[in-house]
Chains A and B, each alone.
Chain A
Amino acid sequence: MANMEALLAPFLSPLLALLIISVLFGALLGFAVQKFKVTTNPLVDQINALLPQTQCAQCGYPGCKPYAEAISSGAPINLCPPGGENTINQLAHLLDVKAIPLDPDLVEETAPKVAVIREAECIGCTFCIQACPVDAIVGAAQQMHSVIASECTGCELCEAPCPVDCIDFVTVDAEASKSPPEKSLSEQACIRCGLCVDACPVDLLPQQLYWFAQGKAYDKAREHRLMDCIECGLCHAVCPSHIPLVQYYQAAKLAIKDQDEKLQQALLIKQRFDYREQRLAKERAQIEQRRRARAELAQAKAKQSDLIQAALARAKNKTATEKSPDTQHGN
């Protein structure tokens, strides 16, 4: 026994020390977890704001918000065909990951489309109205339906339910996107001479803007006030490397405007989608309420009829007992 104690003695104090440290820090962490509990996740909203809100479910999730939730817990960012390269780039920038090309299993990114109903053929079944995630189809049962073109996201969710196949998808004429100029033979590499900076009449940094425009760092370009460029062409004129700077700026400006418009549109669509969700929830609640009211009514009726039956039975019994002595007498 004494031998055992002597054997254990050197282990006691280190174990004790580690135990004290662990218990102390365990308590601290346990307290922190309770104190700083996370209830909502704003990251999902930040991601959701970048998605095009078509609610087309091509990513495999039932809408844009579920996909945003999936991304925030690790789903790949390249599953959104309507958003295309633009959305992937923005997501990559937000999450600081590498931009990857669109998942090849998904449909190729196409020009924006809107649904058009061939109205002569429409039978007024309202299936497409129920399928539309943003309430962009108007009409009533047995009446012709119509698509509000400006609200349609081109998600193609209305195509499958239509029993007479009277919905077409037509491409919207997208503004011809301006690509940066082809490198001409006279254009040389920037030598950072700074002549363009001196020439700029609105005190911009043309050389910096050139890098941002070329690298598609639109946030940075905007921070350096690219939108203030008056496109006078002086920087191009003084550039010893003959770089057509203004053409780069024009392309970048159009891209920025395009991006802004898309985000704005996504916001509007999201509002419509949210409104529809609210409306559907309200309708469901109303139906549920009516159902409950009917059930209660039926129950009350059943109770009443039970009472009547019971009274009848009692009356029957009574007459039976009143009659039975007579019959006995008769016998």
Chain B
Amino acid sequence: MSAIIILLISAILVNNFVLVQFLGLCPFMGSSNKVETAIGMSAATTFVLTLASMVSYIIYHYLLIPLNITWLRTIAFIVVIAALVNFTEILMLKTSPLLHKILGIFLPLITTNCAVLGVALLNINAGNNFIESAFYGFGAALGFSLVLILFAALREKLNLADVPAPFQGASIAMITAALMSLAFMGFTGLV
């Protein structure tokens, strides 16, 4: 139990995928203009990430290893992730067309979100078992969500602030992300 809690904390804070490992930066910068959008994006990514790490564990251990074709893992995982993202997109179009419209290209782009593929590959490198894989994926997704929502809230405030002209838009967002990354470095050594 404590091992799993440590795994979660490590995935959420210490080795945060966005701010410490710099994975999945595209949706981090792209869909963080509004808190509601960020929450939608977080939910979609959490869903995909958790399921993808579980399904890719099953496929790796029960299909690729028996057939002795582990070198095929990257392609196989991408197929899994793409299918799950597509499924999420269908679900979202049904439940919230507005969110689907706002997220636009960033929704299918979860497929190429390196955090998702990264978790699947890291799970295998670390030799995690099924439960650990699932929690590692879930923790990574929680960390991503936490950072994305915090960042969106900051950007909402920034939109109202008197930012000097050369820093407006993407530049101030980059600086904010960098400062957040610095802050997250403070978690090193927590676990």
Contact = CB atoms under 8 A, between A and B. Distances in A.
Interface in A37-71: 37-38, 41-43, 46
A86 to B, nearest CB: 18
Interface string A6-47: 000000011011101110011011001100111001110010
Given A14-B72, A95-B101, A189-B162, A21 B59 contact: yes
Nearest 7 A-B pairs (CB), nearest first?
A215-B160, A25-B83, A36-B94, A43-B97, A13-B67, A96-B102, A211-B160
Nearest to A97: B102
Contacts of B34: 96
B87 A38 contact: no
A69 B176 CA distance: 37
Most buried by A among B63, B83, B86, B101: B101
B26 to A, nearest CB: 16
Contacts of B91: 32, 36
A72 interface: yes
Which DSSP category, helix, strand, loop or mixed, fits chain B's interface?
A: helix
Interface residues of B, number: 30
11 contacts: A17-B63, A18-B76, A21-B63, A22-B79, A29-B86, A43-B101, A46-B98, A94-B98, A96-B33, A96-B37, A215-B160
Given A13-B67, A28-B87, A217 B160 contact: yes
Contacts of B37: 96
Interface residues of A, number: 31
Contacts of A212: 160
A20 B63 contact: yes
A20 to B, nearest CB: 7
Contact of A14 (B59, B67, B83, B87): B67
Contacts of A22: 79
A214 B159 CA distance: 11
Interface in A164-206: 189
B1 interface: no
Given A14-B67, A96-B102, A38 B79 contact: no
Contacts of A95: 98, 101-102
Nearest to B33: A96
Nearest to B79: A21
Contacts of A21: 59, 63, 76, 79-80
Interface in B21-71: 33-34, 37, 59, 63-64, 67-69
B109 interface: no
Contacts of B157: 211
B90 interface: yes
B131 interface: no
B63 A32 contact: no
Nearest to A32: B90
A12 to B, nearest CB: 9
Nearest to A37: B94
A13 B69 CA distance: 8
Contact of A214 (B83, B90, B160): B160
Given A17-B63, A17-B67, A18-B75, A38 B93 contact: yes
A175 B180 CA distance: 46
Given A22-B79, A25-B80, A96-B34, A17 B94 contact: no
A17 B76 contact: yes
Contacts of B160: 211-212, 214-215, 217
B161 interface: yes
B168 to A, nearest CB: 12
Given A14-B72, A43-B97, A32 B33 contact: no
Nearest to A93: B34
B97 A29 contact: no
A206 to B, nearest CB: 15
Contacts of B80: 21, 25
Given A13-B67, A42-B97, A43-B98, A29 B161 contact: no
Nearest to B72: A14
Interface string A238-275: 00000000000000000000000000000000000000
Contacts of A26: 83
